[in-house]
């Protein structure tokens, strides 16, 4: 299947700092990428849809000024958690759809575990 | 209302036995896709199998098969000959519409169920 990379795989930061997470599609182009958040023992919650060449679409309840998304190219989307606080600690995972014949299949990055002290 | 329902929070299966993980869905869109993903303790989401709403046959991928019953709106995952490495969380997901890459189409995202934790016993 397709490969989606994510960097860093884990990060620990102090409260008030900003953290940037990169998501790359390695062997295909993705005009759309998705960012999810997952709390322990829970399912994935879609945060936003990243669109190359246009603004991201945020889900209801997600602060766009806190979670900045930039889809810089057809293979790269970044999520910046601004002024992080302990409640932002979570597992963040991105995904990108790749056309697969009759339909698209969505492939996920390995995730980034963020801990805010 | 929940669009994807996984009623089994946890399941146990003996090694080499088959196991069925349940998933029901709710949609009024005639075009949709159903997905199963595996999430081991490392956290990565591994794509297992896909079934389109217009597919006539049940999808199969190696030891994974999808028991698609359209009228009942169920898409159960069957894992044959379970292995210890199959122990993980399993998520059922649905996308309304057949394609992701339609600009501005928020309805083309994946909606996930709450997951089932599968434990394979030696």
Secondary structure string (H, E, C) spanning chain B: CCCEECCCCEEEEECCCCEEECCEECCCCCCEEEEEEEECCCCCCEEEEEEECCCCCCCEECCEEEEEECCCCEEEEEECCCCHHHCEEEEEEEEECCCCCCCCCHHHCEEECCCEEEEEEC
**Do A108 and B45 make contact, defined as CB atoms within 8 angstroms?**
yes
Query: Between chains, do B114 and A31 touch, taking CB under 8 Å as contact?
Result: no
pLDDT above 70 (res A8)? yes
- Burial of B41 (C-beta count, 10 Å sphere; 0-12/13-18/19+): exposed
Q: Which of residues 59-88 of A touch B (CB under 8 A)?
A: none
The two tokens of residue B3 are 């669009």
Residue B111 CA from chain centroid, whole number: 11
Strand-pair partners of B92 = B36
Residue of B nearest to A37 (CA): B43
CA distance A90 to A41: 11
Contacts of B104 in chain A (CB under 8 A): 57
Is cis: bond before A75, omega within 30 of 0?
A: no
Cα(A77)–Cα(A36) distance, integer angstroms: 13
User: How sure is the predictor about A28, in pLDDT bands with cuts at 50, 70 and 90?
Assistant: confident
* Nearest-Cα residue of chain B relative to residue A55: B104
Check CB contact under 8 Å for B43 and A103.
Answer: no
State the Cα angle at A96 between B67 and B51, rounded to 5°: 15
Interchain proximity A49–B106, CB inside 8 Å: yes
Give the pLDDT score at A112: 97
User: What is residue B100's predicted lDDT score, i.e. its pLDDT?
Assistant: 56
Q: Which residues in chain B land under pLDDT 70?
A: 1-2, 98-108
Residue in chain A closest to B90 (alpha carbons) equals A43
For A51, which of B52, B95, B103 is closest by C-beta distance? B103
The whole-angstrom distance between A113's CA and the closest CA on chain B is 9
Contact B114 A102 (CB under 8 A): no
Span A53-70, average pLDDT: 92
Q: Number of residue pairs across A and B with CB atoms under 8 Å?
A: 71
A-chain CB neighbours of B33 within 8 Å are 103-104
Residue A51 pLDDT level (bands cut at 50, 70, 90): confident
pLDDT band at A11 (very low <50, low <70, confident <90, very high): very high
The distance of A110 to chain B (nearest Cα, Å) reads: 4
């Amino acid at each position: 299947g397709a490969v989606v990379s994510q960097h860093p795989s884990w990060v620990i930061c102090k409260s008030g700092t900003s953290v940037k997470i990169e998501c790359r599609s390695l062997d295909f182009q993705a005009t759309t990428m998705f960012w999810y958040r997952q709390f322990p023992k829970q399912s994935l919650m879609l945060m936003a849809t990243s669109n190359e060449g246009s603004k991201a679409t945020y889900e209801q309840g997600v602060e766009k000024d806190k979670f900045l998304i930039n889809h810089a190219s057809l293979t790269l989307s970044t999520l910046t958690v601004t002024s992080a606080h302990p409640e932002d600690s979570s597992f963040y995972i991105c995904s990108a759809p790749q056309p697969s014949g009759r339909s698209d299949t969505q492939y996920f990055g390995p995730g980034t575990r963020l801990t805010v002290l | 209302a929940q669009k994807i329902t996984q009623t089994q929070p946890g399941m146990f299966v003996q090694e080499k036995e088959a196991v069925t993980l349940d998933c029901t869905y709710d949609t009024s869109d005639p075009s949709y896709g159903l997905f199963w993903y595996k999430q081991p303790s490392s956290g990565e989401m591994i794509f297992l199998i896909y079934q389109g709403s217009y597919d006539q046959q049940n999808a199969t991928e190696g030891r994974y098969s999808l028991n698609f019953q359209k009228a009942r709106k169920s898409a159960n995952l069957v894992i044959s000959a379970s292995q210890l490495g199959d122990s993980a969380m399993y998520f059922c997901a649905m996308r309304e519409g057949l394609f992701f890459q339609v600009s501005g189409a928020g309805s083309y995202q994946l909606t996930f169920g709450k997951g089932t934790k599968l434990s394979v016993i030696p």
